[in-house]
Amino acid sequence: MKTTVLLPGTYDPLTRGHLAVIETAARNFDEVRAVIFVNPDKTCLFPLSDRLEFLRLATAGLPNVKVGSSDGLVADYVRENGLSFIVKGVRNERDFTYERGMADWNAAHGAKTLFLPSPEDVREVSSTELRKRLEKGLPIDELAAPGTADAILAAYRRLSLDKRD
């Protein structure tokens, strides 16, 4: 039986931590779907098109990873696509507590979640920290997923120019 899992997120922007979890899932499951879920209640720095591009760049060498987006509910996506599990990376106890609540809700709606601990070297990496570095003009290479730093910087510069107009 083919095991296909979902790695949902906003990926605003994609980090080394996100990619580490995607790579772990890709080594352990037949197919991985890294899907950006659009939450109308959440304001993202980068538009969906940029976030999809960052995901595509970072996962280009992972043939069993498919990239996409959805504006629906995670549990509905899992059921409608016949997926095996939701996979979530957790960096620390705070992440686990939050994700456990989401996992309980998704389980009540027919979608089971597996947790993957983040590798130690990326436990402090977050999209929030990456965005802060962008705002301060600091280097982002150590936080951005490999192969994405230039694209993230270019997109950020474009967004900054658009705000000035």
pLDDT digits (tens, 9 = 90+) for 72-82: 999 999 999 99
Q: Is the pLDDT of residue 162 over 90?
A: no
Q: Quick one: pLDDT at residue 49?
A: 97
CA atoms within 13 A of residue 121's CA, in its CB half-sphere? 5
pTM exceeds 0.85 for this model: yes
Q: Map out the domains of the chain as residue ranges.
A: 4-164
Work out the angle at residue 130's Cα, subtended by the Cα atoms of residues 126 and 136, and round it to the nearest 5 degrees. 145
Q: Quick one: pLDDT at residue 160?
A: 84
Could you report the per-residue pLDDT of 144-161, keeping only the tens digit for each? Answer: 999 999 999 999 999 987
What is 4-164's CATH topology?
Rossmann fold (3.40.50)
